Amino acid sequence: MTSGQKKKLIGTNAAIWAIAILASFILPFIAESVSTGSAKFLQVLCFALPLIVGMFISSVVISKSIPETAAE
């Protein structure tokens, strides 16, 4: 896998995680603000924190597990 292909794969992985983080963050926040007000912002942020850490770890693991080859 070339360096460009590796960067594209890591970028796609990060985009998928970013969408998951936004969904994980926004949907509970909307539900909480509709039901009890917006005072629970910190609690909702804590829901997204594991996903943020997961995105970082996943990107590092993918980067290290794919060997680079010379471009043809």
pLDDT in tens, 16-59: 888 887 777 777 776 666 666 555 666 666 777 777 777 788 88
Report the interhelical angle of 41-65 vs 3-35 (nearest 10°).
170
User: Would you say 17 and 55 are in contact if contact means Cβ atoms under 8 Å apart?
Assistant: yes
| Total domains in the fold of the chain | 1
Q: Measuring CA to CA, how many Å separate 70 from each of 6, 11, 65?
A: 12, 20, 16
Per the domain annotation, does 70 fall within a domain?
Answer: no
What confidence tier does 70 reach under pLDDT thresholds 50, 70, 90? low
Per the domain annotation, does 71 fall within a domain?
Answer: no
Range of the domain at 48: 3-65
